[in-house]
Structure 1
Amino acid sequence: MDIEKRSIEFVPHSERYGHPRRLFTIWFSANMQVTTLVVGTLGIVAGLSLIWTCIALVLGCVIGTVFMAAHSTQGPHLGIPQMIQSRAQFGVLGAGFPLLINYLAFVLFTAANGVVMRDSVQAFLNVGDNTAIILFGVVSFIVGFIGYELIHRLGALMSALSGIIFLIVAGLALQQPLPAGAMDVSQGFTLAAFALTVTQAASWTLGFGPYVADYSRYLPANISSRQTFWFSYIGNLLGAGLVMLLGALLAVLIKDVTSDPGTAIGSFFGPWSKVAMVIVVLGVLEINSLNLYSAYMSFMTMFTGMRGMTRISRKTKFIAMGLTAIAATWIATATQYNFFAYFSDILIAQVYFLVPWSSINLADFYLVRKGKYSVDAMYDVNGEYGKYSWSTMAIFMLGVLSTVPFMDLSFYHSYFAQMIGTDISWIPALIVPGGLYYLYNRNRFQSKSPNMTLQKAA
């Protein structure tokens, strides 16, 4: 399989291929792994009963995936990476602001996956803690470097393998007796824990927004946007929802599932546990490669905006992605013994920065410009999108600031978070910046040509 030759540039129509059903398998499999399962356990850890945790998880996934799938339709329409499209809102150089935040979020999630997989790797390789994390990072780097097609093929394979593993675990777990009151809606409910669990599930699915179009941009431009949306939505909703629900179930049955989910899964397979653990590791390897690939795309989008570059050499790609993998691996080895607080914080903290970006991007695409863009201008610092859009950057910061009164982290508890009992900052993060952006720009781009996205037809 050839190494992907495209990077941040427009994908010519002559190179477009594939069917939207590929989006189902990549997003189903990206969630069919134990990091998603850990998100499902957090409601139980917070004190909710099993039934209320399940309700909160489903609600969060249903809401968050709407925005993720809405971003997915941008890929075939524009044929460019997700974050390049931010240049239309923030300016060619101004887009570097959310890009930096986006890059850091991807690096942190890549690191988190390395921590989660440490014990699972050690289940079939006799290596130390740091070595297990490093090996996982190296293989993630290889897959990410080869790129788009390998990632999609791995997604199709893991949809089947991970699906079988988690189906078997679910069947065996459901045969075990549940603790008293686990399914009683009159018990085990607090508003704070319920809202927190909704936020965590929504945050997980919203977190795919900044890179979801990276994996649909090779699809033909004339495919149905509805197909793109629904294959992405259903794949992500089923993958995330089912695995999170399984995580909640296991959390009431197995004490250490949150800290060592891979081993918990392997324990169901007896003498076949090592085979199951290999599949578990491969499942997380896929999403780790997604994170690493898109971290590289975000970094190069930021860097090339300053340099006026439109293409990236394989040597540059190797160096940039390699440095990113090294940074993530170092963070993973440094945080591995304080993982729960670390993971919970980054899951919530991404809401404060990535969701305001998502809100602005979707408001621009669907409500303001209605899909009418100049792809050429996104690579030109002297083009119509300019170097900086100070108004958008100000709106973005207002969106971030709107979350401050609702923040709840391990080291900071805002006034409303203490009053309500949990963090609900994702709600203002979605509403405030998108609303402000629409109100400020709704009449500014009405004269744009409806054929602007066709300027790079070949």
Structure 2
Amino acid sequence: MTASPEPPGPGASLVERRSIDVVPDDERHGSAFSQFTLWLGANLQITAVVTGALAVVFGGGAFWSLIGLVAGNLLGGAVMALHSAQGPRLGLPQMISSRAQFGVRGAVVPLLLVIVMYVGFFAGGSVLAGQATGELTHLGETPGIVIFALVTAVTATIGYRVIHALGRVASVICALAFVYLGIRLLDGIDLTAVLHDRAFHLPMFLLAVSLSASWQLAFGPYVADYSRYLPRTTSTRATFWWTLAGSALGSQWSMTFGVLVAATAGDAFLANQVGYVVGLGGTGLIASFLYFTIALGKLTINVLNTYGGFMSMVTSVSGFRAQKTIGPRARALYIGGIMLAGTAVALAGKDSFLASFKDFLLFLLTFFTPWSAINLVDYYLISRERYDIPALFDPRGRYGAWRWDALSVYAVGVLAQLPFLATGFYTGPLVERLGGADISWIVGLAVPAALFFVLARGRNTGGTPSADKASAPYRHMHGCP
């Protein structure tokens, strides 16, 4: 079943009709600043607080943990923002463009891992948001997780416009809450004493960098989903800088709070992250407001995860079924499947959240850095921002069904990281020689980027479609001169 186009202009339907198909120019709207509010709101939330806290929980000092987190947020955020800048140019969800590198069907390889990521992040977010929702409704944690999951699914089903509206609301409310919590925290601690220890330990510093870099890089597979409705004339630089600013500022703000809380609260924070943060703010109406804020912040990011998972699932299936659009019933079924899977994982793992979440983040980084490196090298250096859009949906077109050279580079990129990887369930043989430092994500960016650049220069990976592949008007619509 196919869906009818979304009505153009300001009066467009609130419920989104498009999925992986190209957004036409007459349906484009908004400005690059919308990326700032969306990503600020998505990062001012409790899971980012926990991520920052992990840098201290696992042995780092507050001073160098903060610097490491800044470095990771800027480095990873820059890579993520480069993906965001593809949205207005192509008018497509992020992972569709991977077909130009891996083939129309070959793109399913990184996509399967992306879907696992979305389910995992949905579950992790639901654990913390479920605690807040359970307290707010007085129903308890398990019903809170279920209620939160249902609200997330409904919001993701409505789609793009409500997602951006949610981001605008969350960016204001969550910023106010974090200002208030920051004042309360600083009023009760000796900041000079917390930052007094300046001893530098390379492994702990690199752990902080890796935690924040992985946080940012994990947005890469879906960030263009939320910029693809911007007008084609939107500046690439504007999209890049507003995305980077919102994401890096929001995450660093949350993570800084997490570092200071973990460095001063210790076991009190580890035992109940949500309860401690709310208790820091106060009781009564203030506590209710903070529980609501935590749930709102998590709703924003979990909707992104659910919507991105839906896009990835449709992209995977459509590569084999030659589908470009889907109907509302199929949309609801895809999103419902993600909700059920994520909720099941959340309920099963809610008692061991903190330890497993750190390993989950670093493990994901192993698979997403090679994809990100290959996608960005192809888009910006090889194809130079020009793709044959019809061929992205045709296994017999210029990009083919499977591009084994790119898939081989991807596999090499994953394997090259293993000697340098340090997680709770696997430690590479070179980690000890580096003093315990995990530099796998650096290897995962550099090795596949260099290999793919050398490989792809010898073949046509994009460029302006030839006359037999696309008409001149089609080329104009999709980023080609």
Separation (CA, whole Å) in 1 of partners of 2:222 and 2:433? 34
Separation (CA, whole Å) in 1 of partners of 2:363 and 2:167? 27
Once the 2 structures are TM-superposed, how far is the Cα of residue 456 of structure 1 from its aligned partner?
5.5
Correspondence for 2:150 among 138, 145, 154: 138
Residue 349 (structure 2) pairs with residue 338 (structure 1): no
Partner AA of 1:156 in structure 2: R
Residue 250 (structure 2) pairs with residue 236 (structure 1): no
Q: Name the residue aligned to 1:454.
A: 476
Once the 2 structures are TM-superposed, how far is the Cα of residue 72 of structure 1 from its aligned partner?
0.5
Residue 240 (structure 2) pairs with residue 226 (structure 1): no
State the SS of the aligned residue for 1:415: coil
State the SS of the aligned residue for 1:209: coil
Correspondence for 2:103 among 91, 106, 124: 91
Residue 458 (structure 2) pairs with residue 432 (structure 1): no
Separation (CA, whole Å) in 1 of partners of 2:167 and 2:458? 42
Residue 173 (structure 2) pairs with residue 161 (structure 1): yes
Q: Name the residue aligned to 1:298.
A: 312
Structure 1 pair 411–129 and aligned structure 2 pair: CA distance change class (3 A): same
- For structure 2, list consecutive stretches of 5 or more residues without a partner in the other structure: 1-12, 466-471
Residue 333 (structure 2) pairs with residue 319 (structure 1): yes
State the SS of the aligned residue for 2:187: coil
Q: CA offsets, 1:161-220, max 9 Å, x none?
A: 000000111111112233885212534x42211111110011101111110000000000
Once the 2 structures are TM-superposed, how far is the Cα of residue 360 of structure 1 from its aligned partner?
0.3
Q: Name the residue aligned to 2:74.
A: 62
Correspondence for 1:442 among 454, 457, 463: 457
The answer (yes or no) to whether the contact 1:40–1:244 under 8 Å persists in 2 is: yes
Partner AA of 2:70 in structure 1: V
Provide the aligned length of Structure 1 versus Structure 2: 456
State the SS of the aligned residue for 1:174: helix
Residue 50 (structure 2) pairs with residue 28 (structure 1): no
Partner AA of 1:454 in structure 2: H
Once the 2 structures are TM-superposed, how far is the Cα of residue 447 of structure 1 from its aligned partner?
8.6
Q: CA offsets, 1:96-115, max 9 Å, x none?
A: 11111111111101111011
State the SS of the aligned residue for 1:444: coil
The 5-angstrom pairing of residues 51-450 of structure 1 reads 51-178=63-190, 181-187=193-199, 189-255=200-266, 256-267=268-279, 268-271=281-284, 272-420=286-434, 421-445=436-460, 448-449=463-464
Structure 1 pair 16–447 and aligned structure 2 pair: CA distance change class (3 A): closer
- For structure 1, list consecutive stretches of 5 or more residues without a partner in the other structure: none
Separation (CA, whole Å) in 2 of partners of 1:133 and 1:143? 16
What is the root-mean-square deviation in Å for CA atoms of aligned residues?
Answer: 1.7
State the SS of the aligned residue for 1:445: coil
Once the 2 structures are TM-superposed, how far is the Cα of residue 20 of structure 1 from its aligned partner?
0.5
Scaled by the length of structure 2, what TM-score is found?
Answer: 0.92
Scaled by the length of structure 1, what TM-score is found?
Answer: 0.96
The answer (yes or no) to whether the contact 2:194–2:260 under 8 Å persists in 1 is: no
Among all aligned residue pairs of Structure 1 and Structure 2, give the percentage whose two residues are the same amino acid.
Answer: 36
Partner AA of 1:341 in structure 2: A
Separation (CA, whole Å) in 2 of partners of 1:375 and 1:286? 30
The answer (yes or no) to whether the contact 2:101–2:461 under 8 Å persists in 1 is: no
State the SS of the aligned residue for 1:228: helix
Separation (CA, whole Å) in 2 of partners of 1:5 and 1:447? 29
Q: CA offsets, 1:124-175, max 9 Å, x none?
A: 2222432221111111101111111000000000110000000111111112
State the SS of the aligned residue for 1:371: coil
Separation (CA, whole Å) in 1 of partners of 2:82 and 2:123? 27
Structure 1 pair 45–314 and aligned structure 2 pair: CA distance change class (3 A): same
Structure 1 pair 280–186 and aligned structure 2 pair: CA distance change class (3 A): closer
